[in-house]
Amino acid sequence: MKTKILAAATLAAMIAMPLAAQAQGTVRGAAEGADAGARAAGPVGAVVGGTVGAVAGTVNGILGIDDRPRFREYVVHERVPSYTYREPVQVGVVLPDEGVTYYEVPERFHVRGHYRYTVINGQPVLVEPSTRRVVEVIR
C-alpha cells in the first residue's frame, strides 16, 4: 500500500517538476503542502502534500488569485511611477541597479517573505529585492 502511494507521489512530483521553474509560489506551496501532509500522514503525507502544494503554489503564485485584482487596484490608487524597461516584462527578468523604486506590499495581501513591488512598463510586478529579479507579474 505504502509503495503504491509513494510511487504515485513520485510520479506526481516528476510531472510537477517543470512547473517549479515558473515562480516562487511553487516553493512556498510545496513547503506548506509538505508541512500539512506530514502532520496528517507522516513522511508519505509530506511527499504527497509537497507535490500537491507545489502545483497549487505555481497556479496561485506569490500573490493569491483572490488578491490580484485588489492588489492591482491598490497599486493604481497609490499612483506608483512606472519604470520604462526596454524588454518584455516577465518572471525571471533582473531589473537594473538604479532607477527602480521598490515598495513594501501591505500585509492585507498575504505575501509571505520579503518581496517588494514596483511598476514596470505600466505593469505591477513582485520582485525579490536582493536579486532584483521579477518573481511575479500581476495581470
Domain spans in the chain, listed from the N-terminal domain onward = 2-60, 67-137
Q: Would the pLDDT of 75 be above 70? A: yes
pLDDT band at 60 (very low <50, low <70, confident <90, very high): low
Of the listed ranges 16-30, 45-59, 105-119, the least confidently predicted one is 16-30
Residue 49 above 70 pLDDT?
no
Q: Is the dihedral of CA 11, 13, 16, 21 positive or negative?
A: negative
Place of cell 500581476: 138
Here the cell at position 13 is: 512530483
Under 8 Å CB-to-CB from 63, ≥6 apart: which residues? 71, 105, 109, 110, 111, 126, 136, 138
Model's pTM, two decimal places?
A: 0.59
118 three-class SS:
strand
